């Protein structure tokens, strides 16, 4: 027992000593005091990649470039992965000081491959020996900030998104809450797309303030889209607990706060405490984004499938939005899968931006073509002029059918027939089922089933208020009104009155 405790104690001392050494090197490098340290190699840390990495940085700071190169190569051979691009950048700096031009250029290419290198990083004095080399000049030319046709196009999409954002916030209507959520979603896409444009044009070296924000904004897309969908389906959209859905993105923002709220390159130069990297690597894993966004896309699809679209005017609207958001998700998944293959071209990450652009333009087009949707009004009302343009009916014929329908419903109570079909109604009117359906949709802004159920509910309410029916069960009165089952009756009654039959009857008694 004592032997086991002694062994555990020795392990604690060893790991504490290792941690203290790494912490000392890190602090000295950040504070610029590596010259005060005696940089002797420690056998106990011979297999620790982070130790060799920090030792190499301190050796570079002390202008011991040979030792710096040796230590950084050792860290790379041990699989150091926390800041791979930064490692190669410092190695290139040390190799340049040693006048090893070709290895230094190879180090810069590696730094670029791991996403660290930019135009500003090439302007430091330590690379003066490389400036006469054609390869360095080509690299400098490639990294020099500039716009091309694609980045200019995406910048236009960003401006379109800002305009759309203002329109959504300015729209007054029944769905103000949902429009605000949609506006925030568009804003996340706009900021993400703009940060991509800065990255592709190399201007992020001069404007580093949006770097890494896409890590958080990408995660926000899932819950925002789902909550927008729910805001259009629920009768009380403000009841959505949006704050609970945003907990994980807020946690990611907290973890990445050193990168989000400080200039990117400044943080890279000063470094972060080791414990921060562990959390950062976890929240930045591709699988984290894929699973999180996939979870909310699944929730959105489930809500869409479970909704009674037969009685809703939002089906066309959400068909397009779901297709656009699904394309956005698939572009992210494809990017993270293909990036692992050698044939992958970095320019293919434009796919995510194209998907965001399609989503933005989908909202813009649908909102422009059918503004009633953003106001919370039925989409059918917007489609009416186009839907009936070639219906083959004159306006007089439409009015005639409409008047016949009114007579059949109000005077003959045709809706009380439980098995009444559209064909039966058309025969009673003396027209085709197609023409009757069109007239019902156009003049009553309802489909056939809603049209019947509205009259049945009103007739049920009349029966319920008659004293002679006080002892008759509610469901029997529903059957008398034309309903053929309890489920459809309760659903139609709640849709038309906002309450249940039992509650309605009690209110009338009181």
Judgement on whether residues 58 and 190 belong to the same structural domain of the protein: no
The CATH number covering residue 490 comes to 1.10.10
Judgement on whether residues 86 and 103 belong to the same structural domain of the protein: yes
* Nearest-angstrom CA–CA distance, 496 and 159: 42
* Nearest-angstrom CA–CA distance, 99 and 69: 13
Higher pLDDT, 222 or 373: 222
From 380, 407, 436, the end of a domain falls on 380
* Nearest-angstrom CA–CA distance, 105 and 93: 10
Q: Would residue 6 count as lying in a domain?
A: no
Q: Would residue 298 count as lying in a domain?
A: yes
Judgement on whether residues 308 and 196 belong to the same structural domain of the protein: yes
The half-sphere exposure of 353 on its side-chain side, counting CA atoms within 13 A, is 24
The single residue listed with the structure tokens 């080791």 is 274
Judgement on whether residues 136 and 161 belong to the same structural domain of the protein: no
Angle at 428 between CA 424 and CA 430, to 5 degrees: 115
Judgement on whether residues 267 and 301 belong to the same structural domain of the protein: yes
The CATH number covering residue 71 comes to 1.25.40.10
Q: Would residue 404 count as lying in a domain?
A: yes
Judgement on whether residues 466 and 404 belong to the same structural domain of the protein: no
Judgement on whether residues 426 and 509 belong to the same structural domain of the protein: no
Q: What is the pLDDT of residue 85?
A: 85
Q: What is the pLDDT of residue 103?
A: 93
Residue 423: C-alpha distances to residues 8, 386, 432, 436, 457 (Å): 85, 24, 8, 9, 22
Q: Would residue 12 count as lying in a domain?
A: no
Q: Would residue 245 count as lying in a domain?
A: yes
Judgement on whether residues 200 and 126 belong to the same structural domain of the protein: no
Q: What is the pLDDT of residue 375?
A: 52
* Nearest-angstrom CA–CA distance, 381 and 441: 9
**pLDDT for residue 495 is more than 50:** yes
Judgement on whether residues 133 and 201 belong to the same structural domain of the protein: no
Q: Would residue 451 count as lying in a domain?
A: no
From 337, 362, 380, the end of a domain falls on 380
Angle at 414 between CA 408 and CA 417, to 5 degrees: 170
Most confident region among 105-109, 117-121, 362-366, 495-499 by mean pLDDT? 105-109
Q: Would residue 10 count as lying in a domain?
A: no
pLDDT digits (tens, 9 = 90+) for 187-242: 999 998 998 888 888 887 777 777 778 888 889 999 999 988 887 766 544 446 77
**pLDDT for residue 167 is more than 50:** yes
From 103, 119, 143, the end of a domain falls on 143
Mean pLDDT of the chain: 79
What dihedral do alpha carbons 453, 454, 460, 463 form, nearest 10°? -140
* Domain hosting residue 135, numbered range: 18-143
Judgement on whether residues 350 and 432 belong to the same structural domain of the protein: no
Domain count, the chain: 4
pLDDT digits (tens, 9 = 90+) for 374-430: 555 444 444 444 444 445 567 788 888 888 888 888 888 888 888 888 888 888 888
Q: What is the pLDDT of residue 199?
A: 82
Burial of 91 (0-12, 13-18, 19+ CB in 10 A): buried
Percent of the chain beyond pLDDT 70? 79
Most confident region among 272-276, 344-348, 431-435 by mean pLDDT? 431-435
Q: Would residue 332 count as lying in a domain?
A: yes
Nearest to 179 by CA among 188, 189, 190, 171: 171
Judgement on whether residues 356 and 400 belong to the same structural domain of the protein: no
Band (pLDDT 50/70/90 cuts) for residue 95 is: very high
Judgement on whether residues 423 and 481 belong to the same structural domain of the protein: no
């Amino acid at each position: 027992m004592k032997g086991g405790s002694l062994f555990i104690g020795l392990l604690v001392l060893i790991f504490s000593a290792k941690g203290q050494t790494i912490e000392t090197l890190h602090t000295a490098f950040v504070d610029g005091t590596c010259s005060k340290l005696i940089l002797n190699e420690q056998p106990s840390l011979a297999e620790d990649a982070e130790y060799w990495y920090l030792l190499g940085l301190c050796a570079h700071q002390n202008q011991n470039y040979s030792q710096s190169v040796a230590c950084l190569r050792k860290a790379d051979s041990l699989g150091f992965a926390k800041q791979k691009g930064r490692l190669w950048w410092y190695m290139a700096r040390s190799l340049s000081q040693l006048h090893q031009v070709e290895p230094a250029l190879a180090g810069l290419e590696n730094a670029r491959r791991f996403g660290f290198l930019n135009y500003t990083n090439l302007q430091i004095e330590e690379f003066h020996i490389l400036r006469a080399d054609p390869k360095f000049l080509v690299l400098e030319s490639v990294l020099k900030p500039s716009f091309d046709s694609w980045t200019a196009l995406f910048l236009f999409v960003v401006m379109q998104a800002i305009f759309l954002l203002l329109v959504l916030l300015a729209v007054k209507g029944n769905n103000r809450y949902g429009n605000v959520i949609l506006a925030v979603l568009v804003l996340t896409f706009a900021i993400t797309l703009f940060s991509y444009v800065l990255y592709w044009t190399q201007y992020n070296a001069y404007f580093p303030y949006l770097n890494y924000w896409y890590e958080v904004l990408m995660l926000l897309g899932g819950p925002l889209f789902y909550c927008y969908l729910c805001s259009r389906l629920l009768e009380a959209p403000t009841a959505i607990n949006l704050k609970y859905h945003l907990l994980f993105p807020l946690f990611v923002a907290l973890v990445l706060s050193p990168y989000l709220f400080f200039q990117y390159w400044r943080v890279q130069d000063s470094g972060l405490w080791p414990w921060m990297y562990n959390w950062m690597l976890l929240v930045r894993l591709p699988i984290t984004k894929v699973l999180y966004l996939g979870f909310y896309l699944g929730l959105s699809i489930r809500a869409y499938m479970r909704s009674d679209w037969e009685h809703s005017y939002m089906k066309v609207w959400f068909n397009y939005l779901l297709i656009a958001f699904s394309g956005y998700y698939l572009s992210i998944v494809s990017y993270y899968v293909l990036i692992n293959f050698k044939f992958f071209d970095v320019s293919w990450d434009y796919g995510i931006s194209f998907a965001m652009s399609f989503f933005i333009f989908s909202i813009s087009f649908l909102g422009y073509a059918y503004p009633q949707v953003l106001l919370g009004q039925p989409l059918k009302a917007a489609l009416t002029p186009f839907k009936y343009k070639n219906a083959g009916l004159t306006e007089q014929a439409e009015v005639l059918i409409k008047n016949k329908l009114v007579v059949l419903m109000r005077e003959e109570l045709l809706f009380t027939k439980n098995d009444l079909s559209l064909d039966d109604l058309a025969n009673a009117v003396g027209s085709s089922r197609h023409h009757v359906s069109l007239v019902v949709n156009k003049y009553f802004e309802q489909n056939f089933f809603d049209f019947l159920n509205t009259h049945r509910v009103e007739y049920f309410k009349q029966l319920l208020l008659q004293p002679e029916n006080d002892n008759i069960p509610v469901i029997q009165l529903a059957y008398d009104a034309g309903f053929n089952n309890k489920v459809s009756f309760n659903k139609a009654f709640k849709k038309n009155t906002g309450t249940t039959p039992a509650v309605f009857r009690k209110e009338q008694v009181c």
